[in-house]
Structure 1
Amino acid sequence: MITQAQIIDQGHRLGFEDVGFTSAAPFDDHKKLLDKMTREYDWADGVGLDLKNGVDPGSILPGAKTIIVLIEPYFNRSYPPTMEAHFGRCYLDDDRVTKDGLARRIKAFRQFLRDAGIESRVPFNLPHRVAAARAGLGTFGKNCLFYSNKVARGGSWTLPIAVVIDKKFSPGRPTIRTDCPSWCKNACIAACPTGALKGNSRIDPKRCISYLTYFGNEITPLKLREPMGMYVYGCDRCQNVCPRNQPWLAKQLPPNERVAEKAADFDLRRLLHMDIAYFESRIWPHMFYMGSDTIWKWKMNVARVMGNSLDERYLPDLERAFNESKDDRVKGMTAWAMGKIGDNQTKSLLESLAKNHTGPVLEEIKLALGSIRGKNKGADK
């Protein structure tokens, strides 16, 4: 029979920086939390996340006895500043579609278990972070993220991978608690511009910038556009300000050449004007939460970011996107962005566009014109 020490050793051999064990008992407390937050998580089933079924490992693997948790750092190399500015780091080197990195190592780990007569499953809907804390591998922050004991200098730049197996091993001592330093004045909560973090390690996912960038079917509400800032996809605000993450952020990391090679593909102008072929070949394999049927959302997010940049160089791109797009949500956001950046010349353009549009697009054009008028009044004072 394979030993626990041998499993840990194999995990390290495959590049996982920490390995822990917990029982496959149901996550009853997590289920109670989901039951209390039905409104906040009613979107999950619609995108294929059966969260409530994931709280019982026995429903994932009949005869489940243990969960092995592998800790994978996703930020052990530096990313191009142009990528970090607009995309959450956990997505920048994601291979869940391409399966050319982490997926291969998980497969090799499962084959190691299979060779030892152990069946396994790697579920997407099991509460991975809770499993990691139950295995004693780390604690939580007020931002609801998992902080490793040993990886990334105690930071949250990690991906816990839960492997459910049908053999029993000794569990670690649970560390399910919030462990932020007493002197931290709720930095993450204060830094969340959309008010997603509620304190007491609670979050409203529907207000999280990450959720807002890739879920939902309507144009981004006006009150959230500026707070969402420069993020096109994902967000790292609460991690960047966290004092527990500063030791790792201060570390000199070697460059991630794999990400650097694709950075040009994620240029804002290219994203705003991309067609489906470009999206499916260069963008979707790396950031896949939005399929080609929601390419409009990518363009809407990019237009919002361009507007928040206040960079006049984007005005021709926004005008082009307005004229070429057939989606009112994209047209509306490009108009809003032009209003954020533009001057009297842009005002004349928007007045001309207003003559040929009605409904929500016209309303956005009016908002944009009001923004320019407001700037002009401010300049006159």
Structure 2
Amino acid sequence: MVSADELRNMARELGFVDIGFTTAEPFSHQSEVLAERRAEYAWTKALGLDLEAGVDPARVLPGAKSIIVLLELYFSRAYPASLERHFGRCYLDDDRVTKDGLSRRIKAFRSFLRERGVATEFPWNLSHRLAAARAGMGDFGKNCLFYSNRAGRRGSWVLPIALVCDAELPPGQPSMGVGCPDWCKNSCLSACPTGALKGPRKLDPRRCISYLSYYGEGLTPRELREPMGLWVYGCDHCQNVCPRNAPWLAAELPVNPKAAAKAEDFQLPKLLHMDLEYFKRRIWPHMFYMSEKDLWRWKMNVARVMGNTRDEAYVADLVQALGKNQDERVRAMCAWALGRIGGDAAARALREAAGTARGLLQEEVDRALEDLS
């Protein structure tokens, strides 16, 4: 078998910022939470993510005795501003498809255990944040995120990685509560533009900008378009306004070279006009929650963001997509964005579209022209 000290040394050698251990007892309270919020999380089962099955580690690995939690600081280097303003930071160096970074290190850690006779499973449906808190590695924010008590200046820019194993390891002291300071006046709750945060550690994921950006159905409802702001994919709003994260946001960090190398590919006009080959080769390997059949949603999100910038520099791109894109939802959002930006060129394109528009597109064109008038 293997000792806790050996695991700590190996984790540090592989670049993880922390490691902790907890028992393999079921997360009983989580089962109650899922039952209470069944309607809010029904979409997870439709995606093949059975959260209820992840409540009991023994269902993941028969004979489970402990959970090892590795902690990754995913915001250890600065990201280009052109990416940070439109994409959640946790996606900007995500290698779950390319498997050229974190995946290799997790694999190396599991190989280290396997060579010492320890079996492990790496279940995505287990609550990795709850496991980290039960291992005493940090606590929660009111925004439902996990905050480290040692890494990243005690911020939330961390990814807990829970491995269920069949070895007995010394469990940490659980720290399951909210660790926000008393003087914080609910910064994250009041700042959530779509009202997804209903209270401390109470999230309706269906209202979350991240969820809406990659799982929202159909044309984004009008009342959500402006609140979703400049986010194309994901959202960091509740983390950016959090006073607990201010120390790390103020840190001088070296630039992440991998993210910087792909920044050019993620420019808004390129995303709005990308074809399937461009998407599969340059975009999907890095941000994969939407498949090629959802290319329309990527473009709809981009059109919405362009509109919310109020930048006339995007008018020509929106006019082009309004005239040439084959998806009604994309064209409808382009019409909305042109109405939001305004100006002579936008109004002229909308009037021209009004002559042939039908259905959903006609409704958006008419509303945009009405707004401009």
TM-score, length-scaled by structure 1:
0.97
Give the 4+ runs in structure 1 shifted more than 4 A: none
CA distance, structure 1, for counterparts of residue 279 and residue 323 of structure 2: 20
1:162 alignment partner in structure 2? 162
CA distance, structure 1, for counterparts of residue 137 and residue 251 of structure 2: 22
Displacement of 1:259 in angstroms is 0.6
Indicate the percent of aligned positions where both proteins have the same amino acid. 57
1:339 partnered with 2:322: no
Contact 1:95/1:103 (8 A) holds in 2: yes
Structure 2 letter corresponding to 1:356 = T
Displacement of 1:23 in angstroms is 0.7
1:258 alignment partner in structure 2? 258
Q: Secondary structure at the match of 1:228?
A: coil
CA distance, structure 1, for counterparts of residue 326 and residue 149 of structure 2: 50
CA distance, structure 2, for counterparts of residue 31 and residue 328 of structure 1: 41
Displacement of 1:351 in angstroms is 1.9
1:109 alignment partner in structure 2? 109
CA distance, structure 1, for counterparts of residue 270 and residue 344 of structure 2: 27
CA distance, structure 2, for counterparts of residue 327 and residue 251 of structure 1: 43
In the TM superposition, what whole-angstrom CA distance separates every residue of 1:176-201 from its partner, at most 9, and x where no partner exists? 00010000000011111101111121
1:202 partnered with 2:202: yes
Q: Secondary structure at the match of 2:334?
A: helix
2:283 alignment partner in structure 1? 283
Displacement of 1:298 in angstroms is 0.3
Displacement of 1:47 in angstroms is 1.6
Equivalent residues in 2 for 1:1-381, closer than 5 Å:
1-373=1-373
Contact 2:319/2:346 (8 A) holds in 1: no
Structure 2 letter corresponding to 1:330 = V
Displacement of 1:210 in angstroms is 0.4
Contact 2:64/2:164 (8 A) holds in 1: yes
Contact 1:87/1:234 (8 A) holds in 2: yes
Contact 2:23/2:171 (8 A) holds in 1: yes
CA distance, structure 2, for counterparts of residue 367 and residue 175 of structure 1: 51
Contact 2:213/2:232 (8 A) holds in 1: yes
Displacement of 1:156 in angstroms is 0.1
Name structure 2 gaps, 5 residues minimum.
none
CA distance, structure 2, for counterparts of residue 313 and residue 5 of structure 1: 57
Q: Secondary structure at the match of 1:150?
A: coil
Q: Secondary structure at the match of 1:44?
A: helix
In the TM superposition, what whole-angstrom CA distance separates every residue of 1:222-250 from its partner, at most 9, and x where no partner exists? 00100100010000010011010011111
Structure 2 letter corresponding to 1:140 = F
Contact 2:134/2:174 (8 A) holds in 1: yes
Q: Secondary structure at the match of 1:68?
A: strand
CA distance, structure 1, for counterparts of residue 158 and residue 116 of structure 2: 28
Displacement of 1:347 in angstroms is 2.1
Q: Secondary structure at the match of 1:43?
A: helix
CA distance, structure 2, for counterparts of residue 228 and residue 216 of structure 1: 12
Structure 2 letter corresponding to 1:73 = L
Structure 1 letter corresponding to 2:289 = Y
In the TM superposition, what whole-angstrom CA distance separates every residue of 1:92-142 from its partner, at most 9, and x where no partner exists? 000000000000000000000000000001111100000000000000000
Structure 1 letter corresponding to 2:82 = T
Contact 1:24/1:58 (8 A) holds in 2: yes
Contact 2:315/2:345 (8 A) holds in 1: no
Q: Secondary structure at the match of 1:168?
A: coil
Higher alpha-carbon deviation: 65-74 or 45-54? 45-54
Structure 1 letter corresponding to 2:223 = K
Displacement of 1:370 in angstroms is 1.6
Contact 1:344/1:372 (8 A) holds in 2: no
Displacement of 1:325 in angstroms is 1.2
CA RMSD of aligned residues (A): 0.8
Q: Secondary structure at the match of 1:45?
A: helix
Q: Secondary structure at the match of 1:365?
A: helix
Structure 1 letter corresponding to 2:115 = D
TM-score, length-scaled by structure 2:
0.99
Q: How many residues align?
A: 373
